[in-house]
Amino acid sequence: MRLFAAVVPPDAVLDEVAEAIKPFVGQVPGLRWPDRAFWHITLGFFGEVPERVLPELEVRLARAVRRHSAPELAFDGFGAFSSVRRARVFWAGLTGDSMVRLADSVKAGARRAGAVQTDEKRFHPHLTLARAKTETDLRPLVEALSGFSGSPWRAERVQLVRSHTGAQMRYESLAEWALAPAEQS
């Protein structure tokens, strides 16, 4: 099973992002824009995981998620990996450093469960919006969208998602856990 852990933002904030990028979708040569149904914030990508690992993975991820309070986040600006000049991925960025700690816990729990991770890069919270097969200069796109800042929202749940690849890609949520209630100040 091809698995990852993710946060799915609320529809209202995804609407803001969709509205911001709407004039550019399909207008940038080389960019493929996945359907909004696939939008999520990946906390950990586990790749192919044997089915026998799934029960322990669910236990470990549930434990990891419960240790963290629901963070307040906001989409803030756009960027690209590996850089805006040589991009293969176009994304919306997120404020809130607590997502880094959450992602680290999720990845550690997955490792302990025996899920081998294929992506050990430093976590950079983002929402992938488009991909390119070859390096593409996205400076004009990122500059055109500068100044975007979305409404604040709370990430309240983490999902374990199975990715079904092939001619008709689809996602299947296998489990979901609530983050701890946000701390009141």
pLDDT tens for each residue of 115-148: 877 566 778 899 999 999 999 999 999 999 998 9
Quick check: is 164 catalytic?
A: no
Helix (H, G, I), strand (E, B) or coil at 102: helix
The answer as to whether 184 is a domain residue is no
Report the pLDDT value the prediction gives residue 118, as an integer from 0 to 100: 58
> What values do phi and psi take at 60, rounded to 5?
-65, -40
Residue 183 lies inside a defined structural domain of this protein:
no
**Residue 124 is a catalytic residue:** no
How big, in percent rounded to 5, are the helix, strand and coil portions of the chain? 30, 35, 35
- Confidence band (pLDDT; 50, 70, 90) for 185? very low
What is the sign, positive or negative, of the torsion defined by CA atoms of 173, 53, 118, 123? positive
pTM for this predicted structure: 0.90
What domain range is 148 assigned to?
2-178
DSSP letter, residue 55: H
Q: What is the CATH number of the domain that holds 36?
A: 3.90.1140.10
Q: Looking at 40, 68, 124, 164, which residue is catalytic? A: 40
User: Which one of the listed residues 68, 124, 126, 164 is annotated catalytic?
Assistant: 126
The answer to whether residue 185 sits within a structural domain is no
The total of structural domains in the chain comes to: 1
Say if 62 falls within a structural domain. Answer: yes
Residue 87 lies in a domain: yes
Answer whether residue 11 is part of any domain. yes
